[in-house]
Structure 1
Amino acid sequence: MLGHEAGATTDVTAALEAAQEAVRRRGDDRERSLVDVVPRRVADVNGNGAGALMNHIAQHPRDVLAVSAAVPTIAFSGVTDVQQGAWDLVEGLAPAYGDHWWYISLPAFTRQDQGRFEEAGWLAESALTCEPSSGHAVHAQTHVSAETGQHESGRAWLDHWVTESGRAAIHRAHFSWHAALHELALGDTEAVRQRSYTQLGPGAVTGVLALVDSASPLWRWRVTTSAWPAGAADGAAPPASSVLGTIEPELLAEPRTPFVAVHAALALAADGDATRLAALERRMRSARGAMRTVVAPLGTAPGASLEDRWVEAADTLEEIVPALPEVGGSAAQREVVEETLLLALAHAGWADRARAVLDSRLERRPSPLDLRRRDSLRTHDQRVPA
């Protein structure tokens, strides 16, 4: 399961065969059930695999590996891309766990997803008091810091945890991604550059995690900073080509979920690859659900921005931003699409509309980046002819 879904280095087929042989000889009911679930996940994560996993959890709710796989986290895709479904799953497990530190770190994350930041922080702190290395709790606390604008303290706290209690964390790159977002918000692009090469570069991250944690910050750097009007002094982001070289071609050409597809589009945009971006868009238009209604238009917008067709990009992005929760992931991960919209509005000459978006964000939490961009906008609309 870890090899297939979390990028662990292992021979998935051999591991499954060994597990199946082991449970035939000495497995108990829970072990036999889990070993039955895993090949279903490998064959079909979101269909038959999701149903089998939920049935297993209903019978064995305290199987923490199975629960970790069912809840969308850093490592696993979960059983649903729908926020409410993930929230309901976590809440329904409360009777089986009570106030155990491992369990309360899960509602800590869902609470921040619901905008209940004080409660999320309290739950995360409680879990970390019991177990300082709890990655789920740190993840929740990290999102609380980002969503409440605690960028200086959030970066310092996160870097300290990674070097101390989190030394053995298996998803250090994702925490580095969070730290990079704090640095972008603070305008410390040199720190982002160093982190991109040392902690998020090809030697540190591969596969789908490189797509999500390494490539997306490069596009975010471009749209928030270097490509922003009067932002050239901040310098260009590192090239995305070396990161894309570590990502399996099928992840970019044939992503399996809307969440991965969004990040594939952003990665190709960061690399300036309009040809593959257009091919991905065409593939998404023949798909179903959020792939067609959200991801396909999203593929159009970065392509338009690469060609300075800002009005088209802004119009497209304004339509799809409200539907972004359908693709899954966290608010922090989806925010890069709104950042792209802001850039398109600014370059299209729609300063008032860009300021309105920035004002709504600043009402939620402080942000030096948003303040800088707001101050840089022209004082009145001046629409650029299409």
Structure 2
Amino acid sequence: MLRDYYGNETSVASQEALDHYDVGVRLFLGAEFGATEAFQSAIQLDDGFALGHVALARSLMMSGQMAQAKAAISHAEGLSLKLDHRQRQHIECFALLFSGLPHKARALVKRHVQDYPRDALVAQLCSNVFGLIGFSGEVGREAELLAYTSALLPHYGDDWWMTSMHALSLCETGQIAESSRLMDQSLALNARNANAAHFKSHAQYEAGETTAGRNYLNNWLTDYDDRGVLHGHLCWHAALWALHDGDEAAMWDAIDTGVGPNAAKGLPINVLTDTAAILYRAELAGVSVAPERWSALSDYATQFFPETGQSFADLHAALAHAMAGNGDQLAHISDTAKGFAGDLVRPAARAWQAIARQDWAGALAELVQVMGSTERLGGSRAQRDLLELTYANVLLKLGQTAEARRSLTTRRPVLIGAAPLAAFHP
């Protein structure tokens, strides 16, 4: 039996098919464009290659082609009876994900990697802030993610992908220096690893290195295919850097060429959340945001997230609807929000509504229900700074300047001297 790049025995008819699969895995783990095509080449050479169909399903999922992805995973399930335990369970992990059972998928993945730690595509499901741990909706998910990558790291040696995953875990738990060291190590092994470039931006953000972060990311993006899954989100980081640097023109350019609904080619959840976050953070900084931008984003949220259930998306959809004055859609979220953190989305939605009508006391009453456990909503610390700054801004509007400073100083000290917040300078 042939072995894949990570040493796993794999039922595949030819080395050529396996070579295409390995290329696809490398591109997928590096968030580069071209993984789907590589997996398609693998199964064209061997239609009975079950794990090739699984990988194709996962890649299609990450490009938003859900109907085709579900067909691919169904095909793989039909081939599973002839496979060994590792490969059958590999398929089952993804089948649970595609069946809308993330908690069961997460539990199975964690058991699977205990026996098969180098089954990288399965391990990837629980890595990253957007993985099954990151979107668990549970308190302590950052510590759980660190424990997860810490257990896996010794099995991967100097592998560029796992190094970058562990670096992010360190970053999100405040271990910035070690995170940066590992990120640079990963990029030295694979300079086009978009995950490492992304996480390096996070580390530089956490360290307050605006100029260095901006220069690095802008240079790195010049050679990144805009069809890559992280392109739009990296443009969000570029826009955020520009906002922090006071470069409004560069911020709008990044939004209009890479982040917003008319520019980004990534997943709808990234388009919605990144656009809503940068528009509101711009408003907090005193930048004028045209009402038409909020209206267009509200329409986008209605189109792609008409029902609640993905709490991170629902949080940002509520913001878009509130700023656009779309009361019906906002009420729908505040009344029906469900999912892994629906209990937090509901008061957050009401807070956005109060903010839109400048009811600062009402907004504060809702936000205090959220701020104690914002990590449950998902996203990175940099993304959840949307809420930290919103909370501080509401306190400032109420004349509670000392409390606003205390909140940022104790909760997010990196923001106190650097984050653009116009209310600090009335």
Q: Using the TM superposition, give the Cα deviation of residue 137 of structure 1 relative to its aligned residue in structure 2, in angstroms.
A: 1.6
Q: 1:349 aligns to what?
A: 399
Which of 379, 393, 399 pairs up with 1:329? 379
**Does the 8 Å CA contact 1:281/1:295 hold for their aligned counterparts?**
yes
Q: 1:275 aligns to what?
A: 328
- Superposed CA deviations along residues 227-261 of structure 1, whole A, max 9, x for unmatched, are xxxxxxx55476133334444646253123x3333
Q: Using the TM superposition, give the Cα deviation of residue 369 of structure 1 relative to its aligned residue in structure 2, in angstroms.
A: 3.9
Q: 1:121 aligns to what?
A: 180
The answer as to 2:367 corresponding to 1:314 is: no
Q: 2:92 aligns to what?
A: 36
Matches within 5 A, 1:1-386: 1-2=57-58, 5-9=61-65, 11-24=68-81, 27-74=83-130, 80-81=136-137, 82-164=141-223, 169-203=228-262, 204-205=264-265, 206-226=267-287, 234=288, 236=290, 239-247=293-301, 249=303, 251-256=305-310, 258-284=311-337, 287=338, 290-292=341-343, 294-360=344-410, 363-364=413-414, 367-370=417-420, 373-374=423-424, 376-377=425-426
Amino acid at match of 1:330: S
TM-score (norm 1): 0.84
- Superposed CA deviations along residues 256-283 of structure 1, whole A, max 9, x for unmatched, are 3x33332232232343323322221111
Distance of aligned partners of 1:342 and 1:5 in 2 relative to their CA distance in 1, 3 Å threshold: farther
Which of 104-113 and 41-50 deviates more?
41-50
Distance of aligned partners of 1:73 and 1:369 in 2 relative to their CA distance in 1, 3 Å threshold: closer
Q: Using the TM superposition, give the Cα deviation of residue 29 of structure 1 relative to its aligned residue in structure 2, in angstroms.
A: 4.0
Distance of aligned partners of 1:273 and 1:100 in 2 relative to their CA distance in 1, 3 Å threshold: same
Distance of aligned partners of 1:89 and 1:363 in 2 relative to their CA distance in 1, 3 Å threshold: closer
Aligned-partner Cα distance in 1 for 2:269–2:178:
31
- Superposed CA deviations along residues 210-230 of structure 1, whole A, max 9, x for unmatched, are 12222322222223324xxxx
Aligned length in residues? 364
**Does the 8 Å CA contact 1:40/1:49 hold for their aligned counterparts?**
yes
**Does the 8 Å CA contact 2:285/2:421 hold for their aligned counterparts?**
no
Structure 1 unmatched ranges of 5 or more: 227-233, 378-386
Which of 111-120 and 308-317 deviates more?
308-317
Structure 2 unmatched ranges of 5 or more: 1-56
**Does the 8 Å CA contact 2:284/2:421 hold for their aligned counterparts?**
no
Distance of aligned partners of 1:255 and 1:218 in 2 relative to their CA distance in 1, 3 Å threshold: farther
Aligned-partner Cα distance in 2 for 1:88–1:248:
37
RMSD (CA atoms): 2.8
**Does the 8 Å CA contact 2:308/2:333 hold for their aligned counterparts?**
yes
Which of 308-317 and 74-83 deviates more?
74-83
TM-score (norm 2): 0.76
Aligned-partner Cα distance in 1 for 2:298–2:121:
30
Q: Secondary structure at the match of 1:170?
A: coil
